[in-house]
């Protein structure tokens, strides 16, 4: 699901914050959710050059 940066503007070299929800798998275990960013809905960031964005997720009973 697409999401937008929380602030209206982020200056160069600034930090942008994104808020979104995640729903874990019904099966307990460790998972990794990976992301890539898109600029203005037009162009994807260079995932290979910049590295990946990921969130480790641990689902417990």
Cβ(10)–Cβ(4) below 8 Å: no
Question: pTM of the predicted model, to two decimals?
Answer: 0.51
Instruction: Give tens-digit pLDDT for 1-43.
Output: 667 778 888 888 888 888 888 777 788 999 988 877 776 767 7
SS in 3 state form for the chain? CCCCECCCCCCCCCCCCECCCCCCCCCCEEEEEEECCEECCCEECCHHHHCCEEEEEEECC
Evaluate if residue 45 carries a pLDDT over 80.
Answer: no
Cα of first residue to Cα of last residue in the chain, in angstroms, is 26
The structural domains of the chain, with segments of one domain joined by +, span: 29-59
């Amino acid at each position: 699901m697409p999401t937008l940066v929380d602030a209206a503007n982020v200056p160069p070299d600034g930090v942008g914050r994104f808020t979104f929800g995640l729903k874990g798998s019904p099966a307990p275990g460790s998972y990794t959710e990976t992301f890539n960013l898109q600029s203005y809905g037009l162009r994807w960031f260079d995932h290979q050059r910049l590295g990946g964005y990921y969130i480790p997720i641990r689902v417990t009973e």
